[in-house]
């Protein structure tokens, strides 16, 4: 902003010299240089500022657009500015030309900057750095045994073999699951001409390849597939139960019927899922909400005493 | 194990049920709350008994 207001002022004059004979070290914040384009006063008033963020479509027409922009996208910068007692200038302030003395670099020295109020000086950065550091973030302590990877112990051997077979087939034949390059090329031409649906309906069904995907038109079909999965991955079928002793009410004498799954089977299905192997924990752990002082973490799971 | 009342039907008697869900406690909360993980399994939709409208009248009369 200093450079924009006075073109005659050079940045080298503001920097203290090596023998400390120059002016006191000043800290000029660079928010405006970083976030604002170099526009003149008239340009700022006329053209609205479009936010540089990709997801943000806002247009800031007022002079305080950098403040709004930083509040939206960089709120942590505001905290740093408050901690270091810095001020962020939104836009060049309007000063009447009659009240404003012009700064001439040749005549006026840099020590006389107090005369020019629109060239605001800031506090020394050394004083602001002496403030105590912010408190540490909350940390959850987990035992080392709990965080150990258990995939080697839990992963089924058939799963490892399947992965190994797939890798070897891809290495040997880059056109897997097709046998030859010509067949792969013919299939690609067939996809382009017939379309994907024709390809799945006609070609893959005839070839009996493994790339046949079932289409789930409703929830029942999906439930049937889940109930009849192979390799002990099934969730368990629904079972109908009747409570003949109980009735709906005096008017409705029908026995109460309800559907349920076997709890142990469904729990086993959840425990066997290879997708959760990385995250499952089989050891006790003490969870803390904060590190200093240590406080216990109370959630819907962590409720009992240790 | 948890349960919550669920609205099943609107135009056929406004049927509601208490569905019983089940998850694993060994998983951390962050992973369990992700929607597409499908870590929550419906165990049973328990039906809600319909109140007898004449029951309160009979009780008052009796």
Q: How far is A280 from chain B (nearest CA, A)?
A: 5
User: Domain for residue A224, yes or no?
Assistant: no
Closest CA to A214 of A191, A205, A237: A205
In what side-by-side order are the strands of the sheet with B41-47?
B2-7, B16-22, B41-47
What pLDDT score was predicted for residue B48? 82
Number of domains chain B contains: 1
Nearest CA in chain A to B17: A258
Write the pLDDT tens digit of every residue in A95-113: 555 555 555 555 545 444 4
* Complex prediction ipTM: 0.75
Q: Which of A244, A53, A190, A24 minimizes the C-alpha distance to A122?
A: A24
Q: What are the contacts of A98-104 at 24+ separation with CB within 8 A?
A: A102/A6, A103/A6, A103/A8, A103/A9, A104/A8
Asked whether B18 and B6 are in contact (CB, 8 A), the reply is yes
Which phi-psi region, left, alpha or beta, contains residue A176 (left: φ > 0; alpha: ψ -120 to 50)? beta
CA distance A6 to A100: 12
What confidence category does residue B55 fall into, taking pLDDT thresholds of 50, 70 and 90?
Answer: low
Cα(A281)–Cα(A46) distance, integer angstroms: 61
Domain membership of residue A40 (yes or no) is yes
Rounded to whole angstroms, the Cα distance separating A271 from B26 reads: 10
Q: CB-CB: which of B23, B43, B52 is closest to A251?
A: B52
Residue A18: inside a domain: yes
Whether the Cβ atoms of residue A83 and residue A131 lie closer than 8 Å to each other: yes
* C-beta atoms of A275 and B37 within 8 A: yes
* Beta-sheet pairing, A239-247 with A59-60: unpaired
Q: How many domains does chain A have?
A: 1
CB contact under 8 A, A270 and B44: no
For residue A300, which residues of chain B lie inside 8 Å, CB to CB? Answer: 29
B37 vs A39, residue with greater confidence:
B37
Per-residue model confidence (pLDDT) at position B20: 92
Give the contacts of A59 (CB within 8 A, at least 6 positions apart).
A48, A49, A50, A51
Across chain A, mean pLDDT equals 62
- What is the pLDDT tens value at each position of chain A, 306 positions in all? 443 444 444 444 444 444 444 444 333 343 444 444 444 444 444 555 555 555 555 665 666 666 666 676 667 666 766 766 665 554 444 555 555 555 555 554 544 445 544 444 444 444 545 677 776 666 655 555 555 554 555 556 666 666 666 667 666 776 766 667 766 766 666 666 556 666 666 555 555 554 545 566 777 777 777 777 665 667 777 889 888 887 777 777 788 888 898 888 888 888 888 778 878 877 777 777 777 777 787 877 677 676
More confident residue, A301 or B58: A301
Judging contacts by C-beta atoms under 8 Å, the chain A residues touching residue B41 are 235, 261, 266, 269-270
Does B61 contact chain A (CB < 8 Å)?
no
Name the residue range of residue A114's domain: 2-129
Task: State which H helix or E strand residue A163 sits in.
Answer: helix A157-172
In degrees and rounded to multiples of 5, residue B47 shows phi and psi of -75, 155
Looking at residue A34, its pLDDT comes to 42
Cα A114 from Cα A102, distance rounded (Å): 13
Q: Chain B, 18-57: which have a CB under 8 Å from a chain A CB? A: 22-29, 31, 37, 39, 41-47, 49-52, 54-55
Is some CB atom of chain B closer than 8 A to the CB atom of A301? yes
pTM as predicted: 0.37
Distance from A168 to chain B by nearest Cα, in Å? 30
Selection from A61, A64, A60, A122 nearest residue A92 by Cα: A64
Domain of B57? Answer: 2-61
So what's the pLDDT on residue A61?
Answer: 61
Residue in chain A closest to B18 (alpha carbons) equals A258
Ramachandran angles phi, psi of A258, nearest 5°? -150, 155
Count CB neighbours of A58 within 10 A: 13
């Amino acid at each position: 902003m200093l450079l924009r207001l006075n073109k005659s002022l050079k940045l080298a004059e503001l920097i203290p010299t090596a023998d400390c004979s120059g002016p006191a070290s000043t800290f000029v914040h660079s928010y405006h240089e970083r976030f604002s384009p170099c526009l003149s006063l008239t340009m700022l008033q006329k053209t609205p500022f479009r936010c540089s963020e990709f997801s943000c479509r806002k247009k800031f027409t007022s002079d305080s657009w950098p403040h709004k922009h930083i509040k939206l996208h960089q709120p942590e910068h505001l905290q740093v500015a408050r901690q270091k007692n810095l001020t962020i200038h939104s836009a060049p302030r309007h000063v009447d030309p009659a009240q404003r003395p012009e700064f001439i670099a040749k005549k006026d020295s840099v020590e006389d900057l107090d005369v020019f109020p629109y060239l605001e000086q800031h506090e020394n950065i050394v004083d602001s750095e002496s403030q105590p550091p912010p408190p540490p973030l909350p940390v959850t302590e987990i035992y080392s045994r709990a965080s150990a990877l258990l995939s080697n112990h839990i992963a089924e051997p058939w799963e490892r073999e399947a992965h190994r077979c797939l890798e070897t087939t891809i290495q040997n034949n880059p056109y897997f699951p097709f046998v030859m390059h010509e067949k792969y090329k013919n299939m690609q031409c067939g996809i382009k001409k017939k379309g994907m649906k024709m390809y799945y309906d006609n070609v893959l069904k005839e070839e009996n390849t493994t790339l046949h995907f079932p289409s789930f038109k409703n929830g029942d079909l999906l439930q049937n597939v889940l109930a009849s999965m192979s390799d002990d991955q099934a969730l368990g079928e629904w079972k109908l139960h009747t409570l003949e002793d109980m009735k709906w009410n005096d008017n409705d004498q029908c026995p109460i019927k309800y559907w349920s799954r076997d709890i142990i089977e469904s729990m086993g299905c959840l425990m066997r899922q290879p997708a959760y192997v990385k995250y499952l924990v089989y050891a006790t752990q003490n969870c803390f909400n904060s590190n200093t002082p240590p406080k216990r973490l109370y959630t819907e799971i962590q409720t009992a005493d240790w | 194990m948890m349960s919550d009342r669920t609205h099943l039907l609107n135009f056929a008697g406004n049927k509601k049920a208490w569905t019983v869900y089940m998850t694993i406690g060994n998983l951390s909360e962050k992973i369990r709350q992700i929607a597409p993980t499908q870590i929550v399994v419906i165990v049973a939709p328990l039906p809600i008994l319909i109140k007898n409208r004449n029951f309160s009248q009979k009780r008052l009369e009796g």
